[in-house]
Homo-oligomer: A and B are copies of this chain.
Amino acid sequence: MKTNLFLALFLFNSVAFFAQTKDEQVFKEIYNSALTNSKCYSWLDHLSNDIGSRLSGSDGAARAVEYTKKQMETLGFDKVYLQEVMVPKWVRGEKETAYIQDNKTKIKVPICALGGSISTPKNGITAEVIEVHSFDELKTLGVDKIKGKIVFYNRPMNNADIETFDAYSGAVDQRYGGAAAASKYGAVGTIVRSMNLRLDDFPHTGGQSYGDIPKEQFIPTAAISTNAAELLSKTLKSNPNVKFYFKQSCQKMDDVLSYNVVGEIKGTEHPENIMVVGGHLDSWDLADGSHDDGAGVVQSMEVMNIFNNIKYKPKNTLRVVLFMNEENGTRGGKKYEELSLANKENHIFALESDSGGFTPRGFSLECNDANFAKISSWKNVFEPYLIHSFVKGHSGSDIEALTSKTIVKAGLKPDSQRYFDYHHAANDTFDAIDKRELELGAGTMAALVYMIDQNGIQ
């Protein structure tokens, strides 16, 4: 008995030892491939510099579908196909104009319409401004003090938060629901401090929703740069009657046909089990969206390129999915899940990269405790690649719709400090991408897919 136990322990340890050694070896090959033989940076160069912005329904989005499908077809998938999805189409129209003005002076300030906003009347809106920091404050002020005015939401993202996504979560209600909330008190428009921790001159767009208010109560809403928000606030302190003027000509069009782009390679052992790796093809319209989410798109494609380079054939079916319409509807993610349910597919794993192309630090995981413990136990294989952080948390908007009970969902967690310097603003461009950081992210994604593929889920 003792001998058997000893033998069993010896064998167990040997298996564990060899497994570790093998994983270490494969990790080395994965990261070597990512850092010395990758295509993701040049793919992103094309996506950003030759195609440019890719808002749902735009020409850029259509060209991005075409380009990525073509590139995916070179990667040795069993099939590359498009999934039809009807997406909202919203267009910005002319560049917005805005002024802080009193009787004597008129200071031009940088604003941009928020996605989904209605336009102002053709000649713009001029009104007094009331600065608030929360929806509760609207209630306190009441209709009397708000009616006829422009509500100016100026609660900054909290600089003391270590993770910038926490700071974003703590402020984005103003952007997403601010117009609907202010309209209920008779505001004629809203101006929202940009979701940006830095003081600069870029207004940051982003999705907003009128919620359940009737269409005739929709009011135009725009983001203002953080520097201009500071200026407006300061000006209001010295002159509460100062007026704000803004003009925007954005509009919502009819929904149009677009696509998710999918590349699939059948698993060699468990073809019925599906692992998804993805990012979103659409971007906001102010820039080429290199970080949000060009990076996630090309990193996801790179996972397949890495597996080709190191000659790794996944045991489970691997799908690289480039989702459409994350930014203003997540219709692509929902359509993917709808089709998956209709086809009775079994997803074991989904990984999204949608937090920028910065140095990867780890993963945020949505899964049960057993899987969390299992994945966390792989820390030591990841550590030489400076991947330390395995935490529970939101994985990704496009894979949110995947709701199977046993699925493991993960989000790549890159360093977040600079993300909101660029997010949804005109400076989210290719020159803000560092090649090595992008490649390390792709390698890290491939490494996790490999571990899940080898070890399965609980």
Contacts and interface: CB of A to CB of B under 8 A. Distances in A.
B384 A162 contact: yes
Interface stretch (A243-251, A271-279, A431-439): A431-439
Given A35-B159, A36-B160, A386 B359 contact: no
Contacts of A198: 435-436
A417 B389 contact: no
A417 B436 contact: yes
A95 interface: no
A386 B418 contact: no
A371 interface: no
Nearest to A388: B388
A253 to B, nearest CB: 38
Contacts of A384: 162
A162 B417 contact: no
A421 interface: yes
Q: Which of A31, A160, A361 has the most CB of B within 10 A?
A: A160
A36 B159 contact: yes
Interface in A161-181: 162-164
Q: Taking each of A32, A160, A197, A417, which has the highest tally of chain B beta carbons within 10 Å of its own beta carbon?
A: A417
A415 B415 contact: yes
A440 interface: yes
A415 B418 CA distance: 13
Contacts of A361: 386
B389 A389 contact: no
B415 A434 contact: no
Given A389-B386, A417-B359, A436 B197 contact: yes
Task: Name, among A159, A415, A436, A440, the residue most crowded by chain B CB atoms within 10 Å (CB to CB).
Answer: A436
Nearest to A164: B436
A385 interface: yes
Contacts of A440: 162, 417
Interface string A194-211: 000110000000000000
Contacts of A385: 162
B31 A160 contact: yes
Contacts of A35: 159-160, 162
A417 B436 CA distance: 7
Contacts of A437: 417-418
Contacts of A32: 160
A267 to B, nearest CB: 29
Contacts of A417: 359, 434, 436-437, 440
Interface in A110-166: 159-160, 162-164
A435 B226 CA distance: 15
A446 to B, nearest CB: 15
A386 B434 contact: no
A172 B266 CA distance: 46
A70 B386 CA distance: 39
A418 to B, nearest CB: 5
Contacts of A418: 434, 436-437
A27 to B, nearest CB: 10
Contacts of A163: 386
Contacts of A421: 434
A409 to B, nearest CB: 22
A417 B160 CA distance: 25
Interface in A29-68: 31-32, 35-36
Contacts of A159: 35-36, 436
Contacts of A164: 436
A19 B36 CA distance: 47
Contacts of A36: 159-160
B162 A31 contact: yes
Contacts of A197: 436
A31 B32 CA distance: 36
Name the 3 nearest CB pairs between A and B, nearest first: A388-B388, A417-B436, A32-B160
Interface of A: 31-32, 35-36, 159-160, 162-164, 197-198, 359, 361, 384-386, 388-389, 415, 417-418, 421, 434-437, 440
10 contacts: A32-B160, A35-B159, A35-B160, A162-B384, A162-B440, A388-B389, A417-B436, A417-B437, A418-B436, A418-B437
